[in-house]
Amino acid sequence: MGGQQAQNIATILNYGGYTRVDAQGFSGGIWIYWHPELVTVEPIIKNGQFIAMDIKKVGCEPWYFTVVYASPEPTKRHDLWRELKEFAATHNKPWMFAGDFNDTRFGWEQNTSCADTSRRSARFNEWVEGMGLLEVEFSGAGASHTWERGNSVDTWKSARLDRALCNGEWSLRFANAAMKHLPATQSNQCPLLISPNGFSPISYVNKPFKFQASWLKHEK
């Protein structure tokens, strides 16, 4: 979806600020929404694989946020790594970026492996380490893999393609940052929920649930 339809959805969702890169056919596409009364978001670079933004809140130090939707084509992903490295060389602020990187870093992040996937992981790790990036670790009961495909034992594949990375400055500023893999619904990929300031314990935010068995006898 894109064009006027995307703008209509932004209105329905009641977000006053938004920017996007439309999908090409059935692939790609990145949408960003925000509340202008709470935060100022200034897009810096937009292309088919990422949107880099400057995030500003009143009374807080600005930082960079980049949403990534890496191409499944290795050559295009190589262009993505190069462009992000060039961005880092000319922009010096706390920086976090997250999304679908279409690559894994470690053996446990995929249910199958071969020489090609090992080479891809090695190249991805080389780029991550060369940039001096850190993982925003995930926690909770969600699945460790964020993508899956197939409907039988023979065809099923899964991998952790989605993640959040940050530079040292962002990690120091948001020392309690945390991420969760939410359940996948109507998609073969899990949404990521990232909180720069961490998540409150459930006992603090939810009242205990109580149920009386006698209520079952009530007709309504």
pLDDT, one tens digit per residue, over 60-97 is 899 999 999 999 999 999 999 999 999 999 998 999 99
Cα–Cα distances (Å) from 132 to 88, 128, 165, 209, in that order, read 11, 6, 10, 45
Residue 166: band (very low, low, confident or very high) from pLDDT cuts 50, 70, 90 = very high
Distance CA 68, CA 56 (A): 20
* pTM assigned to the model: 0.85
Q: What pLDDT, on the 0 to 100 scale, is given for residue 209?
A: 67
Domain ranges of the chain: 1-38, 47-200
Average pLDDT, the chain: 89
Q: What number is the average pLDDT over the span 126-155?
A: 88
Contacts of 80 (CB under 8 A, 6+ apart): 49, 50, 68, 70, 71
Distance CA 125, CA 103 (A): 10
Instruction: Please name every residue paired with 120 in a beta bridge, in sequence order, or none if there are none.
Output: none
In this predicted structure, the answer to whether residue 215 has a pLDDT above a threshold of 80 is no
Residue 207: band (very low, low, confident or very high) from pLDDT cuts 50, 70, 90 = low
> Which of 81-90, 150-159, 209-218 comes out lowest in average pLDDT?
209-218
Write the DSSP symbol of residue 215.
G
Q: What pLDDT, on the 0 to 100 scale, is given for residue 8?
A: 85
Is 52 within 8 Å of 64 (Cβ atoms)? yes
Strands (E), 134-201: 134-135, 147-149, 157-159, 162-166, 178-181, 192-195
- Report the alpha-carbon angle 200-105-108, nearest 5: 80
Q: What number is the average pLDDT over the span 185-199?
A: 90
202 vs 198: which has the higher pLDDT = 198
> In CATH, what number does 47-200 get?
3.60.10.10
